[in-house]
Structure 1
């Protein structure tokens, strides 16, 4: 798997317990990289008591004694790990002006409320003393609440001896599953250490922003920081991990726990902001996952802005001078939790975290999950980033001199936050390494046949590796091992549950055994080929018409329009380059032309006129064209199924009250049920179309486009509800009550459908349309009538289980405001891709 066009780079470091091994990098790096080191054979992991009791006891003794790097005495960063550390941090948080101000503000609001209720009489002679006494009581009560919040929230990095033991224990557990170790790039580590030394001098924090695929993520990054002598970051974690034994262990190892949702709890929100302020003012390193939760699909999720928002506010308010941002990519040969992810995506409820699942069963600890690859993007200044963004706005030539308290500037802050989030995601993608298992999974799920022979698998993996490098990506390697050997190792990691080896006399043949779980690994490569995939899916609308080359050619403007539609539709799934649709599309077409996948007809001025399949691609049986289509077809299928399901929510004929709202989660579950029926009957080509995450993303996009309207309340007991926007509502046949195959929404659904895959299992046509609409109508009618029944029971004073089917006056006002804001966003949004 040696590249033909990649530049030589700094060596990788493979970390296995107390062993660090140089491994020559064969990935495409930037021009500043230099060659160093050589390949090393994979080493055994840490000594085991049963196989090497003397070596095991020696390593344990070295850890207990704190020999050399194990002592963790000269780490780079601010001082941590002393007995009073957490107490000092807690006291600083409590004394922070913002938190103290919020406590007195809430106390005053409570007093004002009590005055309205007549509990305090302003006209009474002793009112002043009573009010002061009551205020002091409320302040004391709020301080107790804050004290309890902080005890459950702040990390407790008070013992270096605990950290030494924790490192040894977690190394043992991690390397039992990932026996090939944790690999990093030496140049990136040296650069990070230099940045850390500079940050330490300036008393500035490094904000590590990794992607999130597994519980192993935070373990791997903490192990790396410890082994390389960097101050451990304080890790923002959901309080769902704060369960017995593990919760306390993680908190002492650097975890700070926060709620998954703050709701309207102003005090809790202020406590979090104050804690973040104190950490950043002290120059302590911080780590939070840019995606929020773990990705169940293998690709990056849209950014979550919670902690980023607090960090940005600390900077914009002037409470801190700067923060060093370090995006981090963490990749795996195999992710321990993917089997559970598959169950969740198919509709199973997420299991509550527990000790057994977190540490791993005995079988997991004995399994071969390969290696972990960690890459660090070159760190950058958050202040410089914000200044650069503000400098682009003519209204703010004075950069940071902006009144952020003014609500009129809130949209500028939101734009900064969004740009920041997607900048981090782009950085993570740019340094991510494609693992051998991802190469194998991608090839297996982008072939037309049921299986593939070893020779063909080798050929396609080599082709895919070259395409990844050509698009600026990186490919993992195993030294100078031949491709067949690397594939064999990858197949052993994936195992028989994911890849089945068929009985074959002449050649080893492989086929997907669990396509949905295997798709997780394919999705690790998809970000590199999204432009090509969307172009090919758009061109497919013409190619699938059949006939000769002239019939299958497509006018450039028609192609442009369909690419724009698809890229806008799927913008919640993928991250696009920042150059704009026209430039990105032209660059993509030229790449495909160079690769002889398509040909382009130009006019005398060089402008694109027509696009079609290249003769060489036709001769090869559309092999590469189909590859790109296969990458995006499952997502198009899923969005189509989600859109079709929404049509079924149209009020039945003759029902006068159209203002009925249906619980969002029930509508999404119904969409998943519809997708399963359509997949079983052959109207969907991909099992992945039943993916709960992708269907949910589809609903979000339809909401952004104004196709559906969703109402969310501050009351956590009332779940979000939806209805089809009146202007998008499909029509019904007045005689039969059936949904009509016409109208604005039908045209929208049809435009998605034209880029879907056709084959022996399905063809577009009236018969399919009627059957699909009948299914969605049946499921939608059931949801609609359940909501009506619940509303009737509510009006009769009976207890009901569903969310209210009608809106209150306050909710109607909130809806009108939301609709206006969405219209403003749609007008200001630019072309995608």
Structure 2
């Protein structure tokens, strides 16, 4: 019985507990049901529908009233929280230190026209109400910005939508006008008469008609080979392909400055033809310039491309994008006397400009193999100049432009720098190059445009410069130097040659074209955005040549970054410098290595040094003038017991080195004298306390100088100024700065000195043999550790030294074609005469104690 009672009692307890549990669960379900927003909304809708069926007014309900009350309470709670937050923030601002608001990163206003020779262009083409902050846009994002708020298809196919909505431009076929051009017809007549004179038969009318028809057929083929076939459809298709390709190739995007595009738009509205003059680094430049201009709403230009790019399939696409093909070499080749070709090319360019087309040509001729800006090839520029001078065009706006890459798309030029022949472009080589490029990340790309410069204004300015008007007497040779007077015009005279000038062009005209061309190259080089790989490579080859730890390298990169920014250079990277350093080392890849303890150093090989030098040379060109000055200074003080030097001696030695390196650098704009640029560099080194201007403390010396000056003033009517003297600072900063500037030019001077030594040893050789022997000598010295600069093994540097010796009259050319032999001029056949000339080059390659310290 007791057992039954116990069991019953337990059952009752379980029933009560389960009932309590059921009640709790039911209460929870009811709470969720009536508090859930979705269920409440559903019940409210059902209630309103039922009330509507019953004829009740459902505009207000209990649920809506409760919601309104809750929203009101939430609104007041939010206001109270905002007031409390502002009160606490004001208290912190009042009691704490004043922290200025962060300023947006700005870049220097790069790409401005020269204030000396183009002041009107400098003040034009820009909105005075808008400040140039240096903002950079990624042109790949233009489509996304334009169609971000469009439909679903537009958002997901923004690149395609952007390309389909690009402007359709009308490109008139100018071939019929070129055929009828007077200069082309005269060239056809002259070629026909020349062929008649060479013919053996008599001068009959039938023969003349036959020969003229043959010449006309040849001229028509030349014109057809030159002409482009620009098409808006091809442009839009290539623009879409470029969107996909550039996104894959350039992980950092393709940037251009907003202010530059706005200036181009304002200049384009003036109705004058725009002539884009970019520096040339890669085959990708052809497409990238057109791609950038087309996407930003500007008319794509006709592009002068070398006939080596006329390869199957790809050549057709380039022609559809505006390429017109020109012969890579006319002067000194079998086409040297082909006046029909010259006339056809000139007529095609002028008729294209008259038809309202913009024009683009690479003023350096070919791609730079060293990374430095090259001296201009002024053939097409001379055509435009002639068109302006004879009144064919009223004016043209020249636009220097530049492109730069974190990692070069074409790969490096190590093979060609080591003397191997250039590989010609073919269909299969183009396919291999495209495949290799598409599977490699090349970092960021920058496309920059300078201010448009009026050709009319440039011509007017250069006609006023007196230091170009003195007659050219004799070539500058080391025994015949009057550099302070002759150097500027002699450099222009030595470099002013082109196959499109014609025989009746004056020397002054050639020099003016050369001066304008060098000015355009200099402006474009100064406006080039320096990428992180450029700066890091320069630091590795100069300040950290023996290697440095990662923190040391980061500190030196930060110092060089600050110095370049202070000089007004645009740096094409932003963000934390350690991240930029890591990115640059990743881009440089196998040419740098990590040693024990994380020490970073350039790989010890000729190929690695040449590749690093390619990227570093963009910065080397910036430091050319101070490096020349520091090298000249070191040549004077090395081995001298005195560490004191006069300004006149330093200036004369600097001008001599400027002449030696005239094929390597354009140290200043042609409107500025090289002597003045060197004086500015002296002042800059003095301001950095690398050299110290000596102050005269002796009153007797000042009094004696005053008496001498007074006597000269009475005798000559003018008192000369005292010549400043300088001493070398011995602080660690001054020694490090001098060493950096010496290492900037040292590899070039090693190549020049080796060329002179090889010339003394051989005496006579073909140009190719001299280059090969010098390369072998430099390579042997590097492998035996007699010379530590692998980048000195450079074909370009050796050839430039040979050009210099030819300009000096030391070498003469005999023969023609590739078998041309270089012989010593009779005046330099004597050993001592050649030795004296070579000494003027080799003396700057001195054994400085600064280079032995580390």
Q: Does 1:344 align with 2:435?
A: no
CA distance in 2, matches of 1:324, 1:712: 42
2:693 aligned partner: 600
2:484 aligned partner: none
Query: Within 5 Å, which residues of 2 pair with 1:498-577?
Result: 498-504=591-597, 507=598, 509-512=600-603, 514-545=608-639, 551-577=642-668
Shift of 1:730: 4.1
CA distance in 1, matches of 2:339, 2:137: 55
1:643 aligned partner: 756
Shift of 1:347: 1.1
CA distance in 1, matches of 2:587, 2:546: 21
CA distance in 2, matches of 1:96, 1:42: 40
8 Å contact from structure 2 (residues 610, 791) kept in 1? yes
CA distance in 1, matches of 2:152, 2:724: 70
Q: 1:245 aligns with which of 309, 313, 317?
A: 313
Mark the CA change 1:492 to 1:31 in structure 2 (over 3 Å): closer, same or farther.
farther
Shift of 1:581: 4.0
Instruction: Report SS of the residue matched to 1:710.
Output: strand
Mark the CA change 1:178 to 1:456 in structure 2 (over 3 Å): closer, same or farther.
same
Instruction: Report SS of the residue matched to 1:475.
Output: coil
Gaps of 5+ in 1: 13-28, 48-54, 122-129, 397-403, 651-660, 732-742, 764-833
2:530 aligned partner: 434
1:654 aligned partner: none
Q: 1:583 aligns with which of 676, 691, 695?
A: 676
Cα-to-partner distance string for 1:653-712 (whole Å, 9 max, x where unaligned):
xxxxxxxx6422222222222222333334433222220011001100111111111246
Instruction: Report SS of the residue matched to 1:256.
Output: strand
Mark the CA change 1:42 to 1:258 in structure 2 (over 3 Å): closer, same or farther.
closer
Cα-to-partner distance string for 1:387-440 (whole Å, 9 max, x where unaligned):
3323457999xxxxxxx9996751121111111111111210221111111110
Q: Does 1:197 align with 2:291?
A: no
CA distance in 2, matches of 1:260, 1:663: 23
Shift of 1:191: 0.5
- Structure 1 window deviating more from structure 2 (669-678 vs 439-448): it is 669-678
Q: 1:390 aligns with which of 451, 463, 467?
A: 463
Mark the CA change 1:361 to 1:108 in structure 2 (over 3 Å): closer, same or farther.
closer
8 Å contact from structure 1 (residues 641, 689) kept in 2? no
Q: 1:688 aligns with which of 791, 807, 822?
A: 791
Shift of 1:208: 0.5
8 Å contact from structure 1 (residues 730, 744) kept in 2? yes
Query: Within 5 Å, which residues of 2 pair with 1:290-305?
Result: 290-305=363-378
Mark the CA change 1:600 to 1:317 in structure 2 (over 3 Å): closer, same or farther.
same
Mark the CA change 1:711 to 1:425 in structure 2 (over 3 Å): closer, same or farther.
farther
CA distance in 1, matches of 2:257, 2:139: 16
Mark the CA change 1:43 to 1:231 in structure 2 (over 3 Å): closer, same or farther.
closer
Q: Does 1:411 align with 2:507?
A: yes
Instruction: Report SS of the residue matched to 1:180.
Output: coil
Q: Does 1:756 align with 2:845?
A: yes
Q: How many equivalent residue pairs? A: 669
CA distance in 2, matches of 1:233, 1:45: 20
Q: 1:260 aligns with which of 328, 333, 336?
A: 328
Instruction: Report SS of the residue matched to 2:694.
Output: strand
Q: Does 1:702 align with 2:817?
A: no
Q: Does 1:112 align with 2:197?
A: yes
Shift of 1:445: 0.1
CA distance in 1, matches of 2:134, 2:762: 63
2:223 aligned partner: 150
CA distance in 2, matches of 1:527, 1:219: 26
Mark the CA change 1:695 to 1:39 in structure 2 (over 3 Å): closer, same or farther.
closer
Cα-to-partner distance string for 1:133-153 (whole Å, 9 max, x where unaligned):
322222221221122222222
Shift of 1:370: 1.0
Q: 2:735 aligns with which of 609, 619, 622?
A: 622
Query: Within 5 Å, which residues of 2 pair with 1:479-490?
Result: 481-490=575-584
Mark the CA change 1:566 to 1:761 in structure 2 (over 3 Å): closer, same or farther.
closer
1:770 aligned partner: none
1:789 aligned partner: none
Mark the CA change 1:37 to 1:375 in structure 2 (over 3 Å): closer, same or farther.
closer
* Larger Rg computed on CA atoms: 2
**Normalised TM-score (structure 2):** 0.72
8 Å contact from structure 1 (residues 63, 71) kept in 2? no
1:218 aligned partner: 286
**Normalised TM-score (structure 1):** 0.74
State the superposition RMSD in angstroms. Answer: 3.6
8 Å contact from structure 2 (residues 634, 848) kept in 1? no
Shift of 1:463: 1.8
CA distance in 2, matches of 1:369, 1:358: 18
Shift of 1:620: 4.0
2:29 aligned partner: none
8 Å contact from structure 2 (residues 403, 448) kept in 1? yes
Instruction: Report SS of the residue matched to 1:706.
Output: coil
CA distance in 2, matches of 1:135, 1:8: 69
1:795 aligned partner: none
- Structure 1 window deviating more from structure 2 (341-350 vs 31-40): it is 31-40
Q: Does 1:358 align with 2:451?
A: no
8 Å contact from structure 2 (residues 304, 360) kept in 1? yes
8 Å contact from structure 2 (residues 382, 501) kept in 1? no
> Which structure has more helix as a fraction of its residues?
2
Q: Does 1:188 align with 2:257?
A: no
